[in-house]
């Protein structure tokens, strides 16, 4: 399997089973560099399993996957150096300040000395965190924790970032501001793969992939997806897939 310079993620026949349970089946995906790509589907559809494979945390049962041009099976550590990852749990250390959290993650990603200091200063500025640099992360509101988590995940300027339900439980205004930041980073060339249950967020993605019971059943722009299913909105598609999954359970 080969990758072109414009492709950030390429999977072919990707499969993952846990005993008799098939979580992901024959998944073919291509995500372009600089794209905001939404991975959607009801609970149990295979979204998180797919992300865990693409981030090198879980070995697939079959098929192939390239992330930033690197084979996730043969070189998972190299993959992890080139990506950022953020989940709904944020992964912050509550007893460290905003700056200390950034310093910790910069060190994890191999940044040292002047380069580390420059990147921390840049992240504090870009994410409007300077005034909160000395504040303990545990005292931040959900929206500010979310912003700090994204800053930590992108401190090393990754080629792409994986966001797994990053806005769960966050108020609407903070969600909107978060997506403004995502748009800015994508405009700078960073690829974003995001899972979300908020369909207004899905509408912001350049393209969407809908999974159902481990299978890819829809791929395209939001307009193409709704046209394919003959429904009025992405939310209608999501509800219909959820209804089908519940009926098949």
Residue-wise pLDDT tens digits, 46-58: 999 999 999 999 9
- Dihedrals phi, psi of 30, to nearest 5 degrees: -135, 125
Domains along the sequence of the chain with CATH: 7-248 (3.40.50.300)
Torsion angle of C-alpha atoms 194, 177, 169, 107, degrees rounded to 10:
70
pLDDT value of residue 249: 67
Q: Is the pLDDT of residue 2 over 80?
A: no
pLDDT band at residue 122 using 50, 70 and 90 as cut-offs: very high
pLDDT band at residue 30 using 50, 70 and 90 as cut-offs: very high
**Strand 191-195, strand 62-67: pairing:** unpaired
Average pLDDT over residues 90-116: 94
Mean pLDDT (the chain) is 92
pLDDT in tens, 65-83: 999 999 999 999 999 989 9
CA distance linking residue 51 with residue 232, whole number of Å: 28
Average pLDDT over residues 209-235: 94
**Strand 207-212, strand 215-220: pairing:** antiparallel
Average pLDDT over residues 207-213: 94
pLDDT value of residue 204: 93
Q: Is the pLDDT of residue 144 over 60?
A: yes
Sign of CA dihedral 31, 33, 193, 110: positive
Nearest residue to 5 via CA among 35, 33, 36, 29: 33
CB 212, CB 41: distance < 8 Å: yes
CA distance linking residue 247 with residue 249, whole number of Å: 6
Tokens 């209804």 sit at which residue?
243
Instruction: Give the percent of the chain with pLDDT over 90.
Output: 78
Q: Is the pLDDT of residue 170 over 70?
A: yes
pLDDT band at residue 167 using 50, 70 and 90 as cut-offs: confident
Q: Pick the range with the lowest mean pLDDT from 14-18, 85-89, 163-167.
A: 85-89
pLDDT value of residue 4: 56
Give the CA distances from residue 30 to residues 7, 59, 81, 125, 189, in Å, rounded to whole numbers and listed in that order.
7, 19, 21, 33, 16
CA distance linking residue 112 with residue 134, whole number of Å: 20
């Amino acid at each position: 399997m080969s990758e072109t310079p414009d492709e950030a993620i390429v999977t072919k026949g990707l499969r993952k089973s846990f005993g008799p349970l098939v979580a992901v089946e024959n998944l073919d995906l291509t995500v372009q560099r600089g794209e905001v790509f939404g991975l959607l589907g009801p609970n149990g559809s295979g979204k998180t399993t797919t992300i865990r494979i693409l981030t090198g945390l879980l070995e697939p049962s079959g098929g192939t996957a390239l992330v930033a041009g690197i084979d996730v099976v043969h070189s998972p550590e190299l993959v992890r150096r080139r990506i950022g990852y953020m989940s709904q749990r944020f992964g912050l250390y509550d007893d460290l300040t905003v700056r200390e959290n950034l310093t910790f993650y910069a060190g994890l990603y191999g940044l040292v000395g002047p380069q580390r200091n420059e990147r921390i200063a840049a992240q504090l500025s870009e994410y409007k965190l300077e005034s909160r640099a000395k504040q303990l992360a545990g005292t931040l509101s959900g929206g500010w924790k979310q912003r700090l988590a994204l800053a930590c995940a992108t401190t090393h300027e990754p080629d792409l970032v994986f966001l797994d339900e990053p806005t769960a439980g966050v108020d609407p205004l903070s969600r909107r501001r978060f997506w403004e930041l995502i748009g800015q980073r994508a405009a700078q060339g960073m690829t974003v793969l995001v899972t979300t249950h908020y369909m207004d967020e899905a509408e912001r993605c350049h393209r969407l992939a809908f999974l159902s019971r481990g299978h890819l059943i829809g791929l395209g722009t939001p307009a193409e997806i709704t046209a394919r299913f003959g429904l009025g909105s992405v939310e209608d598609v999501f509800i219909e897939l959820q209804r089908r999954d519940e009926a098949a359970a």
